[in-house]
Amino acid sequence: MSKYHRFIFLFPFSFFLLHANSVMAQSSEEEDLALVYGDKANVSIATGSHQAIAKAPSSATVITAQDIQAMGATDLNQVMESVPGVHVSMQHVAQNPIYSFRGIFTKENTQVLMLVNGSPITNVFAGDRSQFWGGMSLENVERIEVIRGPGSALYGADASAGVINIITKTSSDIKGAEFGLLAGSFHTTDGYAQYGGKLGALDTAFNIRAGNTDGSQAILQKDYVGNSGPLSTSRKAFDASADLSKEAWRFRASYQEREVGSGAGLAGALDPNSRINSTRLYLDLNYEQANWAPNWDVSGAAGYYNINDKPADPAFMLYPPGTVPGFPNGMVGNPGHEEQHPHGNLSAFYTGFEQHRLRIGTGFQIDDLYSVTEYKNYTATGAPNGTNGNPPVVVDASGNPSLVFLLPHKRTVEYVFAQDEWSIVKDWTLTAGLRTDNYSDFGSTTNPRLALVWDASYNVVVKAMHGTAFRAPAFTEMYNINNPVFVGNPNIKPEKMVSDELAFSWLQTSQLKGNLNFFYYHMSDIILPVGSTPAVYQNAGDQIGRGFELEETYDASNNLRLTGNYSLQHSIDSATGQDAGLAPHRHAFARSDWRFASHWQFGTTVNYVAERLREPGDTRPLIPDYTTVDMNLRCEKFIGGWSASAMVTNLFNANALEPTFLSSGIPSDLPLPGRGVFVQLQHGL
């Protein structure tokens, strides 16, 4: 790290420490505990029950709506970068985010499970959230809970590297009407309105939001075919949601619509004109009743979500005219799909034993890829489809088993799980969980998790954790056909993960608290394309990783909070003995929140990303380190119910790059946006 970078990284700490009040006297043990186990320090994602984060049997982080507001964050990616051990990168297609946990860095990011209000939103087509994600706004988010490490014992498939649970606002969180407007760099405009209150006998919350941006259109130095030009980063977004509840019942409905640019192009060749549509519908009905019977709490849910990912124009350009022999008008390929996922679950929590808290449950999900569409002007081998010397023409390959890249498929999943929180003796708790998932297409998998938590003293908690997890093969990996690059393999099995962790949480003083986590993991049976084109997916990869995460929170005064974390990881590809590549070995994040006057708040975040090596076999130079600084100035209720924020992202206009995969064929790395300035107005009635 250069002297300049050291100064920038220490800025939010050193500047404000000079202005901080002197350290307050040590408070009582009860006050110390209140600091540790406040509302922000509680989490439900670790066991399914609300509990203190310091005692939760996992490495967990909670980001509240207040944290989001203080950071000035408007998208999930900005928040996730603040989580210890997590770095947000992107893939070249549509700038889809890659949430890299602990050095696990894959294109589709299939090892990370994302939940919305506890329900998975995994896309079975490729195993990600959506082929064309287009971001997730935060004005309707109450809190985000993140666990690092395996979560399959409770959540099933894809919870290998970590789990992200996004919890939306209810009527009690919004309390009346609120609306906001955002405008700024890159021709960005955004607006939302939401309401929380009573509708007859129902508690209701409604949210609607729409936005547009051209994106930064940062310049890619060289694409797959050697061209230089701006990334296609435009986005149009529309969101609407409703939350209705009465007593033990809650119904939620959410709709998201995105039209996004192609990023660096579907095949790594810049495609500035094509746009991609994605729509997502989520419905769920929940029942949760404490004391349903003596010593029994019960909960259940029935849900449905539908994903539709399709190019907006049937002339989606893979390679531009004149770059591929035989395709004078360019090579066109437009894959699209629709899928639906009915699902349900039922669980019960029993507290009748003196030293045990037992949770049992069962559930099902149907993964139904019911529609696949494709327009293209090439054959299954990648040759032009023109005949008798005529140029190739775009044809509809949908439903044609000799031409389309994938046919519709369906799988069913059934599961059972049990979890016991056992208070062995005073200050010692063992949490043991076990879950079995049965898949109709590849069979069963069983995954345990153990966590021993020791309250070593009133201000120190020690945790030892062990768990396994799995990642289910996506349909493209199992059933891809007629593709000149990759074809599927219906005989592949799930990826496996085994992880061990040792964690310490301690309250050093009444103002200073920290966490230190050591981890080791072994991923096996990693699904990779193997062989010459077309490559066939196989369980061919193996990766071992280790490292630690340190985080600290310092309340320097009643008006100043400093937080920071530092992560160090090293992941090895077992086949080559080389670094697995792409994920940062070192990652540091610092944040200051300063209330310097009544209603005024100033925040600074510093993000340092360092030591990213290439994948085995990639001989390109190392990926440059970078440091970015964001600032946010906020004034609350300065006139009536109005609040305002002014945000600057990448203040020093750092030349920050995220790596491209070797398999993409793109010689250059992906540039992140330069400096951006945004202003937001909010009004609550």
Contact 222, 200 (CB under 8 A): no
The answer to whether 660 touches 669, Cβ cutoff 8 Å, is yes
Distance between CA atoms of residues 162 and 114, nearest Å: 9
Residue 528 confidence (pLDDT) above 70: yes
pLDDT in tens, 462-520: 999 999 999 999 999 999 999 888 999 999 999 999 999 999 999 989 899 999 999 99
**Which residue type sits at 633?**
L
Tens digit of each residue's pLDDT (9 = 90 or more) over 310-363: 876 666 899 999 999 999 999 999 899 999 999 999 999 999 999 999 999 999
For residue 20, is pLDDT > 70?
A: no
* Torsion 329-330-331-335 (CA) sign: negative
In tens, the pLDDT along 574-606 reads 999 999 999 999 999 999 999 999 899 999 999
Q: What's the CA gap between 223 and 251, in Å, rounded?
A: 46
Residue 623 DSSP label: B
Contacts of 214 (CB under 8 A, 6+ apart): 186, 187, 188, 233, 234
Q: What is the CA radius of gyration of the chain?
A: 25
Whole-number pLDDT of residue 314: 61
DSSP of 256-292: EEEEEE-BT-TTSS--SS-EEEEEEEEEEEEEEEEEE
Which runs of E-coded beta strand occur in 508-599?
A: 512-530, 535-557, 560-573, 578-579, 586-597
pLDDT recorded at residue 4: 36
Candidates 96, 148, 82; CA nearest to 607 is 82
Q: What are 502's two structure tokens?
A: 């040792």
Tell whether the model's pLDDT for residue 66 goes beyond 50. yes
Q: How far apart are CA 411 and CA 403, in angstroms?
A: 23
pLDDT digits over 615-667, tens only? 999 999 999 999 999 999 999 988 888 999 999 999 999 999 999 999 999 99
Residue 290: pLDDT over 70: yes
Question: DSSP characters for 74-140?
Answer: -BHHHHHTTSTTEEEEE-SBTT-EEEEETTB--SS-TTEEEEETTEE---TTTSSS-TT----B-TT
Q: Provide the 8-state DSSP code for 683.
A: E
**How many whole angstroms from its chain centre is CA 481?**
29
Instruction: Give tens-digit pLDDT for 140-163.
Output: 999 999 999 998 888 999 999 999
Please give the tally of structural domains in the chain.
1
CATH of the domain at 513: 2.40.170.20
Contacts of 425 (CB under 8 A, 6+ apart): none
Specify the range with the lowest mean pLDDT, choosing from 22-31, 289-298, 406-415: 22-31
pLDDT at residue 17 greater than cutoff 90: no
pLDDT at position 38 over 50: no
pLDDT tens-digit series, residues 73-132: 999 999 999 999 999 999 999 999 999 999 999 999 999 999 999 999 999 999 999 988
DSSP state of 613: P
pLDDT digits (tens, 9 = 90+) for 371-420: 999 999 999 889 999 888 789 999 999 999 999 999 999 999 999 999 99
Domain containing residue 578: 3-684
Residue pair 278/131 in contact by the 8 Å Cβ criterion = yes
Q: How far apart are CA 624 and CA 606, in angstroms?
A: 17
Report the candidate in 302, 249, 304, 255 with the shortest Cα–Cα distance to residue 278. Answer: 255
> Cβ distance 79 to 99 under 8 Å?
no
Strands 141-148 and 59-64: antiparallel
> Helix or strand or coil: residue 492?
coil
* Amino acid residing at 57: P
pLDDT in tens, 239-265: 999 999 999 999 999 999 999 999 999
Is residue 22's pLDDT more than 60? Answer: no
For the chain, the residue count is 685
